[in-house]
Structure 1
């Protein structure tokens, strides 16, 4: 007999975003990974960053193994209700949130380039 899966909205899933109550959405399925955070090989922070949004891209980009994919089925608690409308404001909020996360994550590269440029410029001018 097939199991009836509970449906969750993205808004419901996004409310579970702490270390003690952590849900992620991957490929339209909702996973409660609260008990797995301490065991996650990449650390709990990478999972916590993925809460509150569809984390399919992040999951796929990490290159998870077949074993990891099988293990995560144990944490599946339902499916994402894709019949609920997603407003354009909420899509814009997700996009801007993604941009801010990338900006926070990769701020060191432009700052390092700027710092090196200033030092080189200062040394060049000092020799003249």
Structure 2
């Protein structure tokens, strides 16, 4: 009878990133290496830095032996979900502007920012009065 393989997302795998609970992803497989951290020849910090991402390149660059590759199979707990994320749907918006509420919007805007035009008018009156008084 075939064994069922558990499928994990990268987000799930990256949540296991402590010395007591450490998962790494290599070649599309998820490994729980928590019990192997102290035995890892490169040190536990190497494995801890590999969490939260696909560590295949780092694993290959380290030049692991055939024995190491065989050993890691006992730590395999599942596979990485490699289905692409869904493409979000675009919302189509009409280019026509809603003009129904435009007078109310203008009125609200003018109520909110009445200080600026009143100040401009007030300064204009004062400057005009001073100019005419000098003549």
Question: Which TM bucket (shorter chain)?
Answer: 0.5 to 0.7
- Would you say how many aligned residue pairs link Structure 1 and Structure 2? 87
Distance change >3 Å, CA 84–CA 21, structure 1 → 2? farther
Structure 1 stretches of 5 or more lacking a match? 88-128
> Is contact 1:24–1:50 with CA below 8 Å preserved after alignment?
yes
- After TM superposition, the structure 1 = structure 2 runs for residues 68-87 of structure 1, keeping only pairs within 5 Å, are 68-85=68-85
Gaps of 5+ in 2: 88-135
Distance in structure 2 (CA, Å) of the matches to 1:6 and 1:80: 9
Q: TM-score w.r.t. structure 1 length?
A: 0.65
Please report how far the alpha carbon of residue 2 of structure 1 lies from its aligned counterpart in structure 2 after TM superposition.
2.0
Q: 1:46 matched to which residue of 2?
A: 46
CA-based RMSD: 1.5
How far apart in 2 are the matches of 1:86 and 1:16? 25
> Which structure carries more helix by proportion?
1
- Partners of 2:20 and 2:84 lie apart in 1 by 27
Asked whether the equivalents of residues 33 and 75 of structure 1 are also in contact (C-alpha less than 8 Å), the reply is yes
TM-score by length of 2: 0.62
Quick check: which has more Rg, 1 or 2? 2
Shift of 1:3: 1.5
Q: Which residue of 2 aligns with 1:13?
A: 13
